[in-house]
């Protein structure tokens, strides 16, 4: 795999970043390689610290905001992603390859070169006003986290929630950031009308593993605290144990569910580690850097759960895997949920309250 240079031209581990590599996107016509020609002096020899990788955000005027999918193993049809790229830097993120469509890398670029859809709320209002719009729950944050750190400044997610609240439109949120509590006023108001569910993603309870694997996400303990605060505010909440990484986090499934249930989660789901396209190379490199003694075991088990390959994109298998180990994981998860009383009942949101928005700034007649 050739490397795109970043910072001083050589791949390196960077504090607060998940990937150490910056490979070209698969649609780029040119390939770049980092070559040491003797002119670059390593920072540890020069005595000068290497420059930090900073996050650059481009304001994007999007053409559409509602994404539609027909995947049989995804429980929603409509979704909104306020941002492209994600500053959390989760090394396992299956959305990394999407940056290739921007001629950017799924590696460092994905977590440092972000795009903010600043007209998202305006587009959503127009979509919901269409006579053809059929109300069903919208998934907020299906690709990248709607509450990643840059949301503090741009507040795009909050603007989207304000439109959905105004129209009484149901929404499901998935995040791994306690920043969701900033919008508790809106969420609590919508919860009283059965219009919202919030899922907090908890990959591990080990703060050290989380720091390495999800460098800019909040610590696991803070996520559990966010669940408690959501519960106390009357907001229905759940936990996503995702992804489950064999030999690294799979032994924590029951412990995560126990902790989440104690914090107020009434629903739960899980997803097996997915390594599509360029994510496999990035994840392998991350394993060798952080857990070299476990790397071979992790990848061997991943392949055993995907029919001998690192990833199987077949519907019905890509999220859960197949084979003995995948079946055992499914049984463990189901038994733990049953023991804790999780996932009882449908938990469906109310779609009957929806009212299309009027023109922006216009008051209702009645």
Looking at the chain, which runs of residues are DSSP E strands?
A: 56-60, 67-68, 78-80, 83-84, 113-117, 138-140, 171-175, 196-201, 237-244, 267-272
Q: What is the DSSP letter of 310?
A: S
Its domain, for residue 243, covers 56-272
Residue 109 covered by a domain? yes
pLDDT digits (tens, 9 = 90+) for 6-39: 443 345 678 889 888 888 766 565 655 555 555 5
Is residue 41 one of the residues assigned to a domain? no
Q: Quick one: pLDDT band at residue 109, thresholds 50, 70, 90?
A: very high
Specify if 242 maps to a domain. Answer: yes
pLDDT per residue over 70-86, tens digit each? 888 888 899 999 999 99
**34 located within any domain:** no
pLDDT at res. 37 = 54
Its pTM stands at 0.88
The residue count for the chain:
366
Q: What residues have CB less than 8 Å from 164, skipping those under 6 apart?
A: 124, 138, 170, 171, 190, 195
Rounded Cα distance between 56 and 352, Å, is 41
pLDDT band at 5 (very low <50, low <70, confident <90, very high): very low
**Residue 365 pLDDT exceeds 50:** no
Whether residue 232 lies inside any domain: the answer is yes
184-212 pLDDT, tens per residue? 999 999 999 999 999 999 999 999 999 99
Residue 67 in contact with residue 29, Cβ under 8 Å?
no
Instruction: Give per-residue pLDDT as tens, 214-246.
Output: 999 999 999 999 999 999 999 999 999 999 999
Structural domain contains residue 79: yes
Q: How confident is the model at residue 51 (pLDDT cuts 50, 70, 90)?
A: low
Q: What distances in angstroms separate CA 64 from CA 119, 191, 288, one per listed residue?
A: 9, 27, 40
Give the mean pLDDT of the chain. Answer: 89
Sign of CA dihedral 341, 177, 185, 122: negative
Indicate whether 279 belongs to any domain: no
| pLDDT one-digit tens code per residue, 276-322 | 988 999 999 999 999 999 999 999 999 999 999 999 989 888 899 99
Supply the pLDDT for residue 135. Answer: 96
Question: Which pLDDT score is estimated for 346?
Answer: 72
Give the Cα separation of 67 and 51 in Å (integer): 37
Structural domain total, the chain? 1
Instruction: Check whether 264 has a pLDDT greater than 80.
Output: yes
Please name which of 206, 133, 127 lies closest in space to residue 160, comparing C-alpha atoms: 127
3 state DSSP class of 108: helix
CATH code, 267: 3.20.20.70
30 located within any domain:
no
Residue 121 has pLDDT above 50, yes or no: yes
pLDDT at residue 3, rounded to an integer: 37
Compute the distance between CA of residue 269 and CA of residue 75 in angstroms, rounded to an integer: 11
């Amino acid at each position: 795999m050739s490397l795109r240079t970043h910072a001083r031209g050589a791949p390196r581990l960077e504090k607060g970043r998940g990937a150490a590599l910056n490979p070209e996107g698969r649609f780029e016509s040119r390939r770049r390689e980092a070559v040491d020609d003797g002119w670059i002096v390593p920072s540890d020899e020069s005595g000068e610290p290497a420059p930090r990788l900073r996050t650059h955000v481009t304001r994007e005027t999007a053409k559409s905001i509602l994404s539609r999918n027909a995947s049989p193993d995804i429980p929603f049809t409509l979704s909104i992603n306020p941002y492209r790229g994600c500053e959390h830097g989760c090394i396992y993120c299956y959305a990394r390859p999407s940056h290739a469509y921007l001629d950017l890398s799924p590696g460092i670029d994905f977590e440092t070169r972000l795009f903010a859809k600043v007209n998202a709320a305006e587009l959503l209002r127009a979509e919901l006003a269409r006579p053809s719009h059929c109300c069903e729950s919208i998934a907020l944050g299906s690709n990248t986290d709607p509450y990643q750190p840059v949301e503090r400044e741009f507040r795009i997610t909050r603007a989207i929630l304000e439109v959905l609240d105004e129209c009484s439109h149901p929404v499901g949120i998935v995040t791994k950031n306690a920043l969701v509590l900033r919008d508790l006023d809106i969420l609590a108001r919508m919860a009283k009308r059965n219009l919202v569910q919030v899922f907090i993603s908890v990959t591990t309870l080990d703060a050290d593993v989380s720091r390495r694997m999800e460098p800019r996400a909040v610590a696991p303990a803070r996520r559990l605290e966010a669940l408690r605060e959501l519960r106390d505010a009357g907001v229905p909440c759940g936990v996503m144990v995702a992804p489950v990484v064999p030999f690294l986090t799979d032994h924590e499934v029951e412990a995560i569910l126990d902790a989440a249930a104690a914090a107020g989660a009434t629903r739960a789901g899980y997803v097996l580690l997915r390594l599509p396209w360029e994510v496999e190379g990035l994840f392998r490199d991350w394993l060798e850097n952080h857990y070299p003694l476990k790397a071979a075991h992790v990848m061997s088990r991943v392949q055993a759960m995907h029919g001998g390959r690192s990833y199987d994109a077949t519907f019905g298998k890509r999220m859960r895997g197949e084979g003995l180990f995948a079946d055992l994981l499914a049984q463990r998860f189901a038994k733990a949920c049953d023991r804790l009383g999780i996932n009882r009942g449908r938990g469906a949101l109310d779609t009957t309250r929806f009212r299309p928005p009027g023109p922006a700034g216009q008051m209702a007649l009645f």
